[in-house]
Chains A and B, each alone.
Chain A
Amino acid sequence: MIALGKFYLLAILVFLYLPIIVMMAMGFNDSSLYELPFHFTTKWYVALADNSQLISSGINSVVIALITAVVATVAGTMAAVALGRRVIRGKSLLQLLLLPPIAIPWLITGTAMLVFFFWTGIGRGMHALILGHVALAIPYVVLVVGTGLQTIRADLEEAAMSLGSTPVHAFFSVTLPLLAPSILGAALFAFAVSLDQFVISYFLSTPGFTTLPVQIYSAIRKGFTPEINAISTILLLGSMAVIVVFAVFARPGGNRDKR
């Protein structure tokens, strides 16, 4: 059964990484029209090195995604705890309200934000991007952390409190460690939602401050070249490296979130 499970996971990984590998491979293919057969070249990476706009937009994307992940995770976790642990009148309504930001196509939300931000003087730029990205990420965080919370028994916290712990202390010492994997997962989602967010970024970015997806979609006008594959590959490998470093050095405990 264990072997079967491992094999199945491997199959899932192959499925998930198939297009990623193709993406990486095409970054080394000669044809600007992504034609096969494959002819190896590194010219797209060379071209990328000169494309300061693509690089700076890539950096902007990562910065905004980091800020979004932190802010949305903190705010969303707080809300999830309130929704999951407290008796609130109109709780279903509050939970229902999490759906429109996911359900309404981002195109509409983006247009709406643009019009509204323009009218209210919030305007465009990095602050507006963060405002929009965090708002989109919050529902994901609340839902993911909320799911985690459902599986943690509230009586553990109560037990801690009955032993003299303050509620805040009980939360931080008992619930939060149990919730850590969910929160981490939620943060990764928030990061991904922001990093891949195009429509809203498109509306809210200014010519001087754009993000990578905006650059990619704008590139469709001129024809996007394997440079896009090159920077996507670098970003992905970079994130992998960061995570590896993080996993090796930052968590000597290793098994902490294993029960």
Chain B
Amino acid sequence: MIKTTRRQTLGLMGAGALAASPLSFGASTARAATKITVLNWQGYGTDEKWALEKFKAKTGIEVVHDYFSSEPEMLTKLRTNPGAYDVVLINSARTQQAANEGLIVPVDFAGVPNSANLSPELKDHANLKFGGKTFGVAWVWGITSLAIREGDKKPESYAALADPAFKGKVALFDDAVTGVAIGALLSGQDMNNPSDLKAVGDKLKGFKDNVKLLWSSEDQWNKSFAAKEFDLSVYWSGAAVRSKRNSKLPVEFVVPKEGGIGWLDNLCVPASAPNAKAALDFINYMIDPDFYFEWATKVGAPASASAAAMEKLPADDLNRVIHKQAYLKTMTIQSALPDDRREAFNNLWQEVKASYAG
């Protein structure tokens, strides 16, 4: 699954740009040794203008961008444009698929000195491994868990979503993979591969009397929360930071005992990268604590995979408070989903939603 900023992207943007994006990065440029192309979500860290200027001043490497707006689209672009990209952002749930298709190469960590600061739980996460090698540099992460109105009793378990105390006061994230993950965690199953989907469905259907609405964008969440339409919600950690910091909403982010639903984004080097060396330089810069500090404090960023970068933030920085390093040990990170399982998740979620409506 995707993460905060771009989760809000209407999914259909993906479908849209997918088929029709002009392939603007063909063989058009006779590449000077100092130009690399990054494939990422728009407005997601790598394309901050000030950062690119600094990076160029430091290394002489110029960075240009191409964007995707859904993960299937990202893979399609990699497949159909060999030689076009030097760095690509891949969610760890897709890394193995990309590695398996031979789209990306194992990371030579010798070229990424800042990787020494990466939290080991993330740097060596199983999602990034394929055939014993690591195919991506852990970059940023976040958690999907619960948010509650300040002053209310903090939930200890996702079971609070079914607690009659919250009757008509719950909002769920309208997303199949997240929904199934919560049902799986609540029924004590592996959220990435629940063996008993019926139990998952039963748990989710148990929220019925509490569910007021299903939200699909951060904006919608903020407005409904501000209008006091719900008190307890499934929410994103990064969005909770923004709601509290930018919109001044009285919200508290809570990770209950079952653990959060984690996601991890990593930066990878395509197998066809024309300039792999410069690509690693750029990735190194992206996990540099100095870059992260500016990104997180000036612009707003998810949690960095670099422990040193997180420590650079003030101790009371919301981003640091919400993304506790301790969570790295308890949260489960979303992993690859085979097509048939993804379809089963989607169908189950439709069934659950139908039961809410019925």
Contacts and interface: CB of A to CB of B under 8 A. Distances in A.
Do any beta carbons of A and B sit within 8 angstroms of each other in the complex?
Answer: yes
Contacts of B13: 202
B219 A224 contact: yes
A118 B21 CA distance: 9
Nearest to A219: B219
Contacts of B219: 219-224
B344 interface: no
Interface string B192-225: 0000000000000000000000000111101100
B15 A111 contact: yes
Interface string A101-134: 0000001000100110110000110000000000
A118 B20 contact: yes
B9 interface: yes
Contacts of A202: 10, 12-13, 16
Contacts of B5: 221
A221 B19 contact: no
Contacts of A223: 218-219, 222
A114 B19 contact: yes
Q: Is the interface of B mostly helix, strand, loop or mixed?
A: helix
Contacts of A124: 20
In this complex, the interface size class of chain A, counting residues with CB under 8 Å from chain B, is: 20 to 34
Interface string A179-207: 00000000000000000000100110000
Interface string B245-256: 001010000000
Interface of A is mostly: helix
A219 B249 CA distance: 20
Contact of A35 (B9, B16, B19, B226): B226
A33 B8 contact: no
Contact of A220 (B8, B20, B226, B249): B8
Interface residues of B, number: 20
A37 to B, nearest CB: 12
Contacts of B12: 107, 111, 199, 202-203
Nearest to A217: B10
B227 interface: yes
A114 B223 contact: no
A8 interface: no
A34 interface: yes
B10 A220 contact: yes
A215 B222 CA distance: 20
Given A111-B15, A118-B19, A220 B223 contact: no
12 contacts: A33-B226, A34-B226, A34-B227, A35-B227, A111-B15, A114-B15, A123-B20, A202-B10, A202-B13, A219-B219, A220-B219, A221-B8
Given A114-B16, A220-B219, 4 more contacts: A114-B15, A114-B20, A203-B12, A203-B15
